[in-house]
Amino acid sequence: MSDRDVLRLFNNEGDENGNWKCCTNCQWSNGLLKSVFGVSLSLLTGISFAVSNLFIALGVLYGLPPLQLTFLCNMVLVVSVIPPIIYTRATLIPENPADTVFLVSLGVARTFASIAIIYSLVYIPIGNVTAISGGTIPIFSALGATIFLGEPWKIADIVASAINVAGTLLITRPTFLFGEDTQFATYEGDADYYKQISTSQIVVGYSLVVGSSVGYSTVYILIRILGERVSIFTKLFYADFTATSMTLIIMFAFGRPIWEMDSSVAWYMVGMAIFDVSGQWSRFGSLELERTAVVTLLSNIEVVTAYILQYFFMQLRPTSLDITGAVLVVLGSIVISSEALYDSWKTEKESRSNRNHDDYH
């Protein structure tokens, strides 16, 4: 079975008329079904990463080194991609040398981003981390996609990005807008850990989140640049193998991993690994189907999921400004998802009209 066969569902190859048939012989339009899959995978990406980050945050509170958590996440991802690589006989060394450079760059960007996001959880609750990440990745990704891929910025993209910026500012509360007293409000909740974090440490945390957003945006753009000429499994392998190798070296060079842990913490690691794999596969799959801006904005469902998990599992109650900012970030996702589905519907309608016109003549 070829790699193209495995991605047949993603690429939606159907009969000679371009229609995909389900078991009831109903015909789905190529564009609309592809968009539904892309939207669904984008939403699954956000939910999966929110749950994974919850387990990571619990591991941090237990005292596990962030580099160790990063290494474990990436190691499991490498293991998960090996079977499909063997089964599909995916090519690990592309014919085009430039693609190899892109793949290695993808792995380095993925390493930087994963380390930065996990270290940020040392200083900031998962709700704020995901909100800032969700607000900044779409902007960096859309700008990069416009510059390097020529993907247009539509009106909906601009509106959604502006809403995301507003939501991000409400959560970070910079001093030049909110003043010193309200820059970082004291966290409300029963977790004393975050109440002991100083203002300077919180600034470091937010800086790490923004840095990780730049890294993940670079990953998204490189995935789009490589396109379908490079197997999705090859992309996953390079991203995760590079990250695993680099974090392994850094972990033993600058840290002391903890391998003895309670059974409950071990289950945290299992949950972290499972949902991180789910998020990673969903993200790569969604980028095969939808524009970069659409994927990154839809993944912001992670923000709502993270705040809910933070409240119920860590007893951390977000402030009113945090909630308002998160609502704005999600609103941006609603705007862009509506635009994506409308575009697919409109394209399919025009395509059907053209086919009917050709059949008539």
pLDDT 10s digits, 20-54: 344 434 444 566 677 788 888 888 998 998 899 88
What average pLDDT score do residues 255-263 get?
81
User: How does residue 195 score in pLDDT terms, banded at 50, 70 and 90?
Assistant: low
What average pLDDT score do residues 245-274 get?
86
Residue 89 contacts by C-beta under 8 Å, 6 or more apart in sequence?
2, 3
Q: Is 109 a domain residue?
A: yes
Predicted pLDDT at 360: 56
Q: Which two tokens stand for residue 162?
A: 């502006």
pTM of the model: 0.72
Predicted pLDDT at 51: 92
What average pLDDT score do residues 253-266 get?
82
Query: Helices (H) and strands (E) in the chain — how many of each?
Result: 15, 4
User: How does residue 174 score in pLDDT terms, banded at 50, 70 and 90?
Assistant: low
CB 67 within 8 A of CB 117: no
What average pLDDT score do residues 313-337 get?
80
CB 263 within 8 A of CB 187: no
Predicted pLDDT at 191: 52
- Between 29 and 212, the more confident residue is 212
Q: Is 27 a domain residue?
A: no
What average pLDDT score do residues 204-233 get?
89
Number of domains in the chain: 1
Distance CA 312, CA 184 (A): 22
Q: Which two tokens stand for residue 283?
A: 């993200």
Q: Is 29 a domain residue?
A: no
CB 301 within 8 A of CB 330: yes
Distance CA 133, CA 31 (A): 29
- Between 276 and 175, the more confident residue is 276
Q: Is 280 a domain residue?
A: yes
User: How does residue 358 score in pLDDT terms, banded at 50, 70 and 90?
Assistant: low
Mean pLDDT of all residues belonging to the chain: 78
Task: Indicate whether 178 pLDDT > 80.
Answer: no
Q: Where are the alpha helices (DSSP H) in 149-198?
A: 155-172, 175-178, 192-195
User: How does residue 210 score in pLDDT terms, banded at 50, 70 and 90?
Assistant: very high
Q: Is 17 a domain residue?
A: no
- How many CA atoms, within 13 angstroms, populate the side-chain half-sphere of residue 163? 20
Angle at 166 between CA 165 and CA 169, to 5 degrees: 85
Q: Is 358 a domain residue?
A: no
Distance CA 35, CA 29 (A): 10
Q: Is 20 a domain residue?
A: no
CB 73 within 8 A of CB 64: no
Residue 297 contacts by C-beta under 8 Å, 6 or more apart in sequence?
138, 160, 164, 332, 333, 335, 336, 337
Predicted pLDDT at 64: 85
- Percentage of the chain lying above the pLDDT 90 cut: 13
Q: Is 183 a domain residue?
A: yes
Distance CA 116, CA 110 (A): 10
Distance CA 361, CA 356 (A): 9
pLDDT digits 0-9 by tens, 69-87: 889 888 988 998 899 899 9
Task: Indicate whether 181 pLDDT > 70.
Answer: no
Q: Where are the alpha helices (DSSP H) in 64-198?
A: 66-88, 97-120, 126-148, 155-172, 175-178, 192-195
- Domain span at residue 248 reads 3-7+52-260+271-350
Predicted pLDDT at 284: 75
Span of 202-216, 268-282, 326-340, 346-360 with lowest mean pLDDT = 346-360
Predicted pLDDT at 27: 44
